[in-house]
């Protein structure tokens, strides 16, 4: 007798071994039709299996459908295989390599003699739909490694054979077959191709085999797949809106910044973009001051030996820019934490000095691959609103609770009210004892509970020195951006001999909390530009008000209006050109200014201004003092 325990606590007994599909059928025909896979077991021991999986002993079982996150991932992975199937049908000489799931979709890399064209993509997508309509079964087979190598070599798939040859010889591999196509995969997959209905191929890009620029360049076909037609339509609509909001496009149109081949991965900030930067920085500087942080500044170059002590040299060496002077090796800092410990170590610290909070707008450099660079969102030189809190073990919880409240206030001021909370726990490769990791993970989870925040746990995604909370915000079109973080670190202060004198008189190592709210300043400003589609709120706008005249007769009055605005700290630009007023208004509107003030003879005579607000809103005539108070009020309210 086989006993199967279901998520609702009920049990179902079967006289003999039973497949997942049979269990689903016994529950009801609706579930049997919707079943894509199943999760066997509970907690970290649970694993995903195909519906053909045989339960030969008692088990906890949860049927996975398209409504589940696991189900959507299985749909996307299976659609990647459907893509490869279609490519092999249309281009038999193409070789398949790897095809993983990525955020919102999937890709598959191919080796082929010529570049795929947009017309090829249309043909491939059409063939995918034809193959899906056949509803062919997807079956799994296990094969010894060497036999699998021979099989793929025999059908001319050299890349698959090379992948399998990297697996230990005593292991078996799983293959999945649909129709006339067989691929290497761990699975699970949908039970048949008919489950794959809502997908679209997006683009072709280049990619090196195994990510190594010394290897052959392959062709990567990207696609997206969803559980319903509505979800696919919503996603494609969002992509269209995201294209309009692309910070690279808006950065050029609004004259904010540019990236130059003379300095790849580093930003050239123009005056208007730098104004946004300064507003963000000065705001965060006030956050430091008002919440007990001492702003510090560490050097750019630090000796190799320091990075070896912290463990960064082993973990991040490939991403560090290294130089040499007088037979000593140095690295441009990829992060600020070791420098903050060196500042902490100057002078004896007592338990009475803790918590000690350091903040820095620290410029960091990381040698990101050129293919991964993306406007100002992913760069090689960036500045973090970095902070480190040195505290006792008893102060961790209180500091984490206070930090979450602070982060929520900051995000709210920048216009983000929807935050997702995730706790990343210990990775397989880490430093520190399990006891220390237990304390750190417990403190982070308890801090979010006390803050009233629902959170998910991401097992194994913590840093090598400690677990972390990741704070992810949602923008105006629903995209998610992970920005803030707080990490609990027992190990680095010990490695660098940071100490404090405890109340008992003994010397102890402080706990170090690594925290950042906006993260990379460059990336955060890119997020802001896309969130607001370049129409920055009044307090962040490079120019908050534009003043323009109708004829030369009002030029002096227009300038006096601008001067009055400037005296109140309002950023203002004038357009006194001898051009038609509607032409000047259209030009300024394209720059997405919050307010445009027009002055003619009537306004000059009455000492007023005609006010247009962003979005083509005509607010009519207004006394200058009234307009100034309106703008200042919006600036103060961060609106």
Say if residue 258 carries a ligand binding annotation. Answer: no
CA atoms within 13 A on the CB side of 333: 20
Whether 384 is a known active-site residue: answer: yes
Identified catalytic residue from 245, 514, 531, 592: 514
Whether 412 is a known active-site residue: answer: no
Whether 364 is a known active-site residue: answer: no
Whether 630 is a known active-site residue: answer: no
Residue 481 to residue 419: CA distance in whole angstroms: 10
Say if residue 337 carries a ligand binding annotation. Answer: yes
Which tokens go with 619?
């607010």
**CB under 8 Å to 285, separation ≥6 — which residues?**
295, 361
* Of the candidates 465, 7, 521, the residue with the CA atom closest to the CA atom of residue 269: 521
Which tokens go with 298?
């560490």
Whether 146 is a known active-site residue: answer: no
Q: In what order do the strands lie in the sheet with 172-178?
A: 138-144, 172-178, 181-184
Whether 468 is a known active-site residue: answer: yes
Residue 513, beta-bridge partner list: 389, 488
Whether 386 is a known active-site residue: answer: yes
Identified catalytic residue from 50, 183, 386, 475: 386
Identified catalytic residue from 160, 366, 608, 612: 366
Identified catalytic residue from 340, 468, 531, 584: 468
* Of the candidates 167, 87, 105, the residue with the CA atom closest to the CA atom of residue 96: 87
Identified catalytic residue from 160, 220, 247, 388: 388
Q: DSSP code of 57? A: S
**CB under 8 Å to 575, separation ≥6 — which residues?**
546, 547, 548, 549, 584, 587, 588
For the stretch 497-521, what's the b/e string if a residue is b when 16 or more beta carbons lie within 10 angstroms of its beta carbon?
ebbbeeeeeeebbbbbbbbbbbbbb
CA atoms within 13 A on the CB side of 578: 2
Say if residue 365 carries a ligand binding annotation. Answer: no
CA atoms within 13 A on the CB side of 71: 19
**By the 8 A CB rule, do 548 and 562 touch?**
no
Tell me the three-class secondary structure of 88-114, residue by residue. HHHCCCCEECCCCEECCEEEEEEECCC
Report, as residue numbers or ranges, the catalytic residues: 337, 366, 384, 386, 388, 468, 514
Binding-site residues for Zn(2+), please?
Answer: 337, 388, 514
Specify binding-site residues. 337, 388, 514
């Amino acid at each position: 007798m086989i006993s199967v325990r279901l998520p609702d606590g009920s049990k179902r007994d079967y006289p003999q071994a039973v497949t997942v599909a049979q269990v689903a059928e016994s529950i009801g025909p609706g579930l049997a039709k919707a079943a894509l896979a199943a999760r066997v077991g509970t907690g970290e021991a649970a694993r995903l299996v195909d519906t053909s999986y045989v339960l030969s002993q008692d088990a906890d079982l949860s049927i996975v459908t398209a409504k589940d996150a696991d189900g959507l991932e299985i749909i996307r992975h299976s659609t990647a295989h459907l893509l490869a199937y279609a490519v092999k049908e249309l281009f038999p000489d193409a070789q398949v390599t790897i095809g993983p799931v990525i955020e919102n979709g999937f890709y598959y890399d191919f080796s082929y003699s010529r570049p795929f064209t947009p017309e090829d993509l249309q043909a491939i997508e059409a063939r995918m739909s034809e193959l899906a309509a056949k509803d062919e079964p997807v079956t799994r087979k296990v094969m010894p490694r060497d036999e699998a190598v021979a099989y793929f070599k025999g059908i001319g798939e050299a890349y698959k054979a090379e992948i399998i040859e990297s697996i230990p010889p005593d292991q078996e591999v799983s293959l999945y077959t649909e129709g006339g196509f067989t691929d290497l995969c761990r699975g699970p997959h949908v039970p048949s191709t008919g489950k794959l209905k809502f997908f679209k191929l997006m683009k072709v890009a280049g990619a090196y085999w195994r990510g190594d620029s010394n290897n052959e360049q392959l062709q990567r076909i990207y696609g997206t797949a969803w559980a319903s037609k509505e979800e696919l339509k919503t996603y494609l609509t969002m992509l269209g809106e995201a294209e309009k909001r692309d910070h690279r496009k808006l950065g050029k149109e609004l004259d904010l910044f540019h990236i130059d081949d003379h300095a790849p991965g580093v930003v050239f900030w123009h005056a208007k973009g730098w104004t946004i930067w300064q507003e963000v920085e000065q705001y965060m500087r006030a956050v430091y001051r008002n919440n007990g942080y001492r702003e510090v500044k560490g050097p750019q170059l630090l000796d190799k030996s320091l990075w070896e002590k912290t463990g960064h040299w082993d973990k991040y060496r490939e991403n560090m820019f290294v130089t040499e002077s007088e037979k000593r090796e140095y690295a441009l800092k990829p992060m600020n934490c070791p420098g903050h410990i060196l500042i902490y170590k100057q002078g004896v610290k007592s338990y009475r000095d803790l918590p000690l909070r350091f903040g820095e707008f620290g410029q960091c450099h990381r040698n990101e691959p050129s293919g991964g660079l993306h406007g100002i969102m992913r760069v090689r030189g960036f500045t973090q609103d970095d902070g480190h809190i040195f505290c006792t073990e008893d102060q961790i919880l209180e500091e984490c609770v206070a930090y979450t409240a602070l982060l929520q206030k900051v995000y709210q001021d920048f216009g983000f009210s929807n935050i997702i909370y995730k706790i990343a726990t210990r990775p397989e490769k880490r430093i520190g004892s399990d006891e220390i990791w237990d304390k750190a993970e417990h403190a982070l989870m308890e801090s979010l509970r006390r803050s009233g925040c629902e959170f998910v746990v991401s097992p194994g995604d913590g840093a090598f020195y400690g677990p972390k909370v990741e704070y992810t915000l949602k923008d105006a079109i629903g995209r998610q951006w992970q920005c803030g973080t707080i990490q609990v670190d027992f190990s680095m202060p010990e490695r660098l001999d940071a100490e404090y004198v405890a109340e008992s008189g003994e010397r102890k190592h402080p706990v170090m909390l690594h925290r950042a709210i906006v993260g990379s300043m460059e990336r955060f400003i890119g997020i802001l530009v896309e969130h607001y589609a370049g129409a920055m709120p009044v307090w962040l706008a490079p120019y908050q008000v534009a003043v323009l005249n109708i004829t030369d007769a009002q030029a002096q009055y227009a300038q006096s209006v601008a001067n009055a605005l400037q005296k109140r700290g309002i950023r203002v630009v004038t357009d006194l050109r001898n051009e038609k007023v509607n032409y000047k208004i259209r030009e300024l509107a394209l720059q997405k200014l919050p307010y445009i003030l027009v002055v003619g003879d009537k306004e000059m005579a009455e000492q007023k201004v005609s006010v247009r607000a962003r979005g083509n809103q005509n607010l009519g005539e207004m006394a200058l003092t009234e307009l100034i108070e309106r703008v200042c009020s919006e600036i103060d309210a961060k609106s």
